[in-house]
Structure 1
Amino acid sequence: MNQEQLTALLRTLLQFGGGIAVGRGWIDADTATALTGALVTLLVTVWGLYVRRNAGLVASAAALPTVKTILADPVTANAIPSAKVQPAE
């Protein structure tokens, strides 16, 4: 799942939950809108930080068919289940 799909899914789920909360009178529509925006922003930021960690970036590069070999530090190389990623010596 890419970041755009995750954002769309989160926004839809939060709008659904916000609609239920507004319908039951727990919160008003403006509060639901503000909470939805804030939560989507926070969750997408956390997701972006996670996928852009060293191991995530190296794994993405290793998935490209044109990449033959990647030399990485031993910790990162051992974290990636790909024959293309080799520990640098």
Structure 2
Amino acid sequence: MNQDQLTTLLRTLLQFGGGIAVGRGWIDADTATALTGALVTLLVTAWGLYVRRNAGLVASAAALPAVKTILADPATAHAVPSAKVRPPA
């Protein structure tokens, strides 16, 4: 799942939940909108930080068919489940 798909899914789920909360009178529409925006921003930021960690970047590169071998530090090489990624000899 890429970041755009994640953002769309989160926004839709939060709007659905906000609609239920507004319909039941727990919060007003402005609060639901503010909460949805804040939560989507925080969650997408956390997702972006997670996928851009060293192991995530190396895993993305290893998934490319044109990449044959990646030499990475031992910690990163062991964190990425790919035969293309290995520590230096």
TM-score range relative to shorter protein: over 0.9
What aligned pairs does 1:1-89 form with structure 2 within 5 A after superposition? 1-89=1-89
Residue aligned with 2:26, SS: coil
Deviation of residue 66 (structure 1)? 0.4
The runs of at least 4 consecutive aligned structure 1 residues that moved more than 6 Å come to none
Note the aligned Cα RMSD (angstroms).
Answer: 0.7
Bigger mean CA deviation after superposition, 40-49 or 78-87: 78-87
Q: Could you tell me how far apart the structure 2 residues matched to 1:62 and 1:36 are? A: 35
Q: Could you tell me how far apart the structure 2 residues matched to 1:42 and 1:88 are? A: 37
Gaps of 5+ in 2: none
Q: How many residues align?
A: 89
Deviation of residue 63 (structure 1)? 0.5
Residue aligned with 1:18, SS: helix
Q: Could you tell me how far apart the structure 1 residues matched to 2:7 and 2:82 are? A: 28
TM-score (norm 1): 0.97
Per-residue CA deviations over 1:11-66 (Å, capped at 9, x if unaligned) read: 00000000000000110000000000000000000000000000000000000000
Identity, % of aligned positions:
89
Gaps of 5+ in 1: none
Bigger mean CA deviation after superposition, 78-87 or 9-18: 78-87
Deviation of residue 88 (structure 1)? 2.0
Aligned-partner residue type, residue 30 of structure 2: D
TM-score (norm 2): 0.97
